[in-house]
Amino acid sequence: DIQMTQSPSSLSASVGDRVTITCRASQSISSYLNWYQQKPGKAPKLLIYAASSLQSGVPSRFSGSGSGTDFTLTISSLQPEDFATYYCQQSYSTITFGQGTRLEIK
Amino acid sequence: QITLKESGPTLVKPTQTLTLTCTFSGFSLSTSGVGVGWIRQPPGKALEWLALIYWDDDKRYSPSLKSRLTITKDTSKNQVVLTMTNMDPVDTATYYCAHPGIAVGRAFDIWGQGTMVTVSS
């Protein structure tokens, strides 16, 4: 299995901050990397697919980059509704998710 | 508009078999390229992919759970069924079904609300 490692596991930030979350694959996955946002008690929501493509309806403050083994999700200016847990997921081979990054209010 | 909804028991006993049904609308599992997946999430833990089934009956399973899982489809009813044998308390989780969107590189673009399953005697 391809292992997906996110860092940090948790992060405290303030409204207006620029935040970056990293996801590293244990082997190359080209651009087969997706990002999801999950709020407590809710199903995950697709934010970014194919490493850098913004899902329809997702605010442009969210962006993704990377290829191969190293990927990032960036939120350019945190809004109150962005405090949630974020997961990366690879679809290059047998699907695996990262362990999640919890984004909390400072 | 695509929607999915999971249904099944909320409580199962250890060693029993769990059967979950995903009922969907807005797409057909007889259309080329279409699939439905299952993902679970234990309380306070990360997401774990379980299985996928495609329009052509191609089935994919998590290697770690493959021996316990079976995924099937009923195209006429717009349903996908997941069975998991020999349930254990560690299988306590919210189980989601989700749609892998062709237009988004088969990322899971639409999710059901999830159904919580507790394994306890």
Per-residue pLDDT of chain A (106 residues; tens, 9 = 90+): 999 999 999 999 999 999 999 999 999 999 999 999 999 999 999 999 999 999 999 999 999 999 999 999 999 999 999 999 999 999 999 999 999 999 998 8
Tens of pLDDT, residue by residue over B38-52, are: 999 999 999 999 999
% of chain B beyond a pLDDT of 70:
100
For chain B, what percentages of helix, strand and coil (3-state, to nearest 5) are there?
A: 10, 50, 40
Chain A and chain B share a number of CB contacts under 8 A equal to 67
B114 and chain A in contact, CB less than 8 A: yes
Task: Quickly state the pLDDT bin for B13 (edges 50, 70, 90).
Answer: very high
Separation CA B73–CA B82 (nearest Å) = 9
Q: What is the pLDDT of residue B98?
A: 98
Instruction: Name A13's Cβ contacts closer than 8 Å, sequence gap at least 6.
Output: A19, A78, A103, A104, A105, A106
pLDDT of residue B30: 95
Are A59 and A77 in contact by the 8 Å Cβ rule? The answer is no
Distance, CA of B91 to CA of B83 (rounded, Å):
12
Q: What is the mean pLDDT of residues B91-114?
A: 97
CA distance B2 to B27: 7
pLDDT of residue B72: 98
3-state secondary structure of A81: helix
Long-range interactions of B57-60: CB distance < 8 A, separation 24+: B60/A94, B60/A95
Instruction: Tell me what pLDDT residue B36 has.
Output: 98
Token output for A57:
């309806």
pLDDT at A65: 98
Interface residue of B104, B110, B115 to substitute, partner A, most A CBs within 10 Å: B104
> Looking at residue A49, what is its pLDDT?
98
Neighboring chain B residues of A44 at a CB cutoff of 8 Å: 47, 96, 108, 111
A100: left (phi over 0), alpha (psi -120 to 50) or beta: left
For A68, other C-beta atoms within 10 Å of its C-beta total: 14
Q: What is the overall mean pLDDT for chain B? A: 97
Q: How far apart are CA A88 and CA A101, in angstroms?
A: 9
Q: Which residues does chain B have within 8 Å of residue A49's beta carbon, measured at their own beta carbons?
A: 101, 104-105, 107, 109
Which residues of A, range 17-56, sit inside 8 Å of B by Cβ?
A: 32, 34, 36, 38, 43-46, 49-50, 53, 55
Note whether B15 and B86 are within 8 A (CB). Answer: yes
- Does the CB of A5 have a partner CB in chain B at under 8 Å? no
